[in-house]
Structure 1
C-alpha cells in the first residue's frame, strides 16, 4: 500500500489502540509503526510521541508502561468497561422483543467498542429457558416512529395483526386502519406496548408494538389530553395492563404467607397486607377482572383465593366449572 494516508494518521492510531490494545494487551512503538504502515501511514518515533499527547489532550486514555527495556502502550478507560458491555450483551440476547438477526447485529456493534481480544468475551450464549424471540424485524422502526409522533403531538394510523393457525400474519378488523393518539410507550412482560387514546371508543387502549404495521403520522393533533391528566401509568401497568384490559375493580384476596412475594411482584409494595391467622393474610388489589386474571389466580393453586366481591367469586366458580366440564369423560 502506498504511503498516502498521512492526514488520517491520528484516526488510524485511535483505531489501532481501540482494536488491538486493552489492559492485558499492549504494543511497542515498532509494532505501532508497523500497523500504521499497513494502513499506508508513515510514522517516526518522535512524531508518535507528539501524536500520543494530542490524543490524550483530546481525551483518549493512552497509557505507556515500561517493561524491561521497552515501553508498551495501550488504551485505558473507554466509554464502556468490559463488565458493562457484558451486561448489555446479556440483555440484548435475552430480550424477547429483539429478533435473533437484530441481536447479532447489535452485539457486533458492541464488540466494536472493545479490543478484538475482549470482543471474544462478548461472544456469550445466555441460556434462557423457553425463550421465544420476536419475529417482527420492524419493531425498531416502529418505536422510532412512535417517539416521533409522541414528540410532535400527532395522531397515528397503522394496521394491526395477529397470528393465525397457519402461522401467518392476519390483519385484524379485516385490514382496516387503526387511528389513535399516542401518549406513551410501556414495557411489560418483555414486550413494548403503545398506550394511546381511541377517540372513537373514547377510552385509553394499549397495542403490542411488534404487531403494528405501516405506522404513519396523521396530520391531526392528538386527543385525550384530559383523560391522560388523570391517568396513572404505573398503576395501569401493575393492575390493569398486566391482566389484558377490562373494567378495573377492587378484589380481595386471601393467601398463604408464603405467597406474599408473588403478589408483591405483581401488584407492588404498596399492596396492603392484613394478617388473618398465623398462616394466612388478606389484601385488596385493583385489577381488571378478565379470564387472564382468573387464570393467573388458578395457576397459583391453593395458595391464593378470591374472597370478594361476590360477583368476582361467582365468575371464578363459573370459570372453574366450565374448565372442569371440558375434561369430563365423554
Structure 2
C-alpha cells in the first residue's frame, strides 16, 4: 500500500512538471521516471493509477494509441494567470528586486517545465524604484500574524530628511497599535488600525516601519460600524476631511482619468465639442489641488468660487 501511494504521487509529480495541453508523457516515460526514483511496476499498472488520480479530481487527459499518452490538462493556474501574477510581482515597487526574482521563479513552477521556460524568457523585473530593505517582506508577515491572532503590535516609524537620512518619528519612541487590515494602495502597503498615541483609527506605511514586535496585549476591538472601503476612500482618494462638491471643466481626452479617480458613477456631462463637466465630491485639500495641477490646465476648477480662490492662492504662493 505504501509503495502504491508513493507511486501515485510520483506519477502526479511527473505529469505536473512535464506535461500540459501541448505536451504528453507516454507510458514508457512514466515507467522510466518511476524506475529512476526506485519504484518498479509494469506497463499494465499505469492506466489503473491514472484512473485513481482522475477519481480524486485530477484532470488528466488520456490519448489511447499503441502506447498510451497522458497529460495534466489543467494546472492550479492557467498560463495567462501565472504571467499576470509574475508581471505584478516584477513591477511592484514594494517588493525588492531580489525577492521579485525569487517569487517569479516560484510562480513559474506552477506550470510545466515547457511553459516555465516560456515564462522565464519573458520575465522582466522592472527597473522602476524598488526598495533595498528585504525586511519589508517579513514586516507584512508579522502584521498579518498579529491581525489573525487579534494582538497589538509595537514598532518604530521614520521619515526621510533633506539629506535622505532616516529620522525617527514620535521622538524615537515605539508606537503601540492594534492592526485590523493590510491595504495595498498606489503600490505601497499600509496597515489600518487603532493607534494608541492618536487615539483613533489611522494608517501607517509598512515600508516606513521598523522592528515590529507582536505584543501579548489583545488588540483594541474594531468598532462595529467601521467601514473599510469608506475609510480607505477618505484616506487615499481625496476624501479626508469635510467633503465638498466641486465642478471641474475637463478636456474630453481626460475622461479615463476622471472615471479612474472617481468611479463609473461620477456625474459628467458634455459642455462643448472639446470639454465635459464633472461634479465630484472631494476634500478640498493640498492633495486635491496637487491632483488638479498635474493636468497643466486641462482640468479647471470652476465651482464653488471659494475653492477656485483657494486654488489660485495656492498657485500664487508657489510662485513667490
RMSD across aligned C-alpha pairs, in angstroms? 3.0
Distance between the aligned counterparts of 1:21 and 1:296, measured in 2?
50
1:275-297 CA-partner distances (Å, limit 9, x unpaired): 6667442514122513x332221
Distance between the aligned counterparts of 2:12 and 2:143, measured in 1?
37
Distance between the aligned counterparts of 2:318 and 2:169, measured in 1?
28
1:272-320 CA-partner distances (Å, limit 9, x unpaired): 3466667442514122513x33222111222223345565444423321
Establish whether residue 299 from structure 1 lines up as the match of residue 307 from structure 2: no
Q: Could you tell me which of 7, 16, 19 is aligned with 1:18?
A: 16
Retained in 1: the 8 A contact 2:243–2:283?
yes
Distance between the aligned counterparts of 1:202 and 1:167, measured in 2?
30
Distance between the aligned counterparts of 1:174 and 1:25, measured in 2?
62
Retained in 1: the 8 A contact 2:20–2:74?
no
Aligned to 1:74: 71
Aligned to 1:211: 208
Q: 1:280 to 1:88 in 2, by over 3 A?
A: closer
Distance between the aligned counterparts of 2:137 and 2:181, measured in 1?
16
Extract unaligned runs of 5+ from structure 1: 326-330
Aligned to 1:41: 39
Q: TM-score, normalised by structure 1?
A: 0.82
Following superposition, the deviation at residue 55 of structure 1 comes to 2.2
Retained in 2: the 8 A contact 1:252–1:284?
yes
Q: TM-score, normalised by structure 2?
A: 0.84
Aligned to 1:238: 233
Q: Could you tell me which of 244, 250, 262 is aligned with 1:250?
A: 244
Retained in 2: the 8 A contact 1:136–1:211?
no
Distance between the aligned counterparts of 2:201 and 2:178, measured in 1?
9
Q: Could you tell me which of 109, 112, 119 is aligned with 1:112?
A: 109
Aligned to 1:281: 277
Distance between the aligned counterparts of 1:248 and 1:195, measured in 2?
21
Retained in 2: the 8 A contact 1:240–1:288?
no
Distance between the aligned counterparts of 1:246 and 1:59, measured in 2?
50
Number of residue equivalences: 315
Extract unaligned runs of 5+ from structure 2: none
